[in-house]
A and B are shown apart, each in its own frame.
Chain A
Amino acid sequence: GENVEQHPSTLSVQEGDSAVIKCTYSDSASNYFPWYKQELGKGPQLIIDIRSNVGEKKDQRIAVTLNKTAKHFSLHITETQPEDSAVYFCAAISGTYKYIFGTGTRLKVLA
């Protein structure tokens, strides 16, 4: 069945450094790739997404890249701040509304 692998499971960075989280999907028909940030005690919040006809998308300090050939997509956070500390989930969607989520990355930004 469809599968999304996410790495790393935990990531610690110094404040101001960059963080990169990578996901690999199995379904070549996947065409939409959102990223969610989940803070403690809250529901996941959509922070950025990319569609299969675009290779890169940027929104201030966050960016997402997509390599359709390799079935990889990545989240990049620059100039990290303590408030970026959270669990991040990637997801892949292929035509239906069924989202396949990655296993999550716990990001800790050290002040």
Chain B
Amino acid sequence: SAVISQKPSRDICQRGTSLTIQCQVDSQVTMMFWYRQQPGQSLTLIATANQGSEATYESGFVIDKFPISRPNLTFSTLTVSNMSPEDSSIYLCSVTGLAGTDEQFFGPGTRLTVL
């Protein structure tokens, strides 16, 4: 497996502000993803972070609200823009492609509370 870290681990933010979450992997991976997990719910894929190009967003998620960067094969950021209380969730990054496998490994998550 890979060692995946996320920063911050948690934050409390004011409505209307933005927060950027970082995801760092200790080895190069093929693909990186961002998920949202609302309290007591399953995982919902926000987007696939593509290295060197624009992210691929799932239905219901748009770049203006969730801009994503992936400058290299080990790092990605997700920004939650113009936050509202409905954005309060756990945000998780995940990776696949370690050693050519399709197993997916998750980071520890970022717990976001918007007041």
Write the residues of chain A forming the contact surface with B, with a CB cutoff of 8 angstroms.
Answer: 32, 34, 36, 41-46, 49, 89, 93, 97-99, 101-104
How many B residues touch A, CB cutoff 8 Å? Answer: 20
Assuming the A-B contacts A43-B92, A93-B102, are A99 and B107 also in contact, with contact meaning beta carbons closer than 8 angstroms in the complex?
A: no
Using Cβ atoms and an 8 Å threshold, which residues of chain B touch A99?
Answer: 43, 45, 104
Q: Tell me which of A36, A46, A49, A102 contacts B1 (CB under 8 A).
A: A46
CA distance A99 to B46 in the complex (A): 12
CA distance A98 to B33 in the complex (A): 9
CA distance A90 to B111 in the complex (A): 22
Question: Is B106 an interface residue when CB atoms closer than 8 A count as contact?
Answer: yes
Using Cβ atoms and an 8 Å threshold, which residues of chain B touch A49?
Answer: 103
Q: Tell me which of B33, B103, B106 contacts A44 (CB under 8 A).
A: B106
Extra inter-chain contacts (7) besides given A93-B102, A99-B104, CB under 8 Å: A34-B103, A43-B106, A43-B107, A43-B109, A44-B106, A97-B102, A102-B42
Question: Is B114 an interface residue when CB atoms closer than 8 A count as contact?
Answer: no
CA distance A34 to B104 in the complex (A): 9
Q: Are A45 and B106 in contact (CB under 8 A)?
A: yes
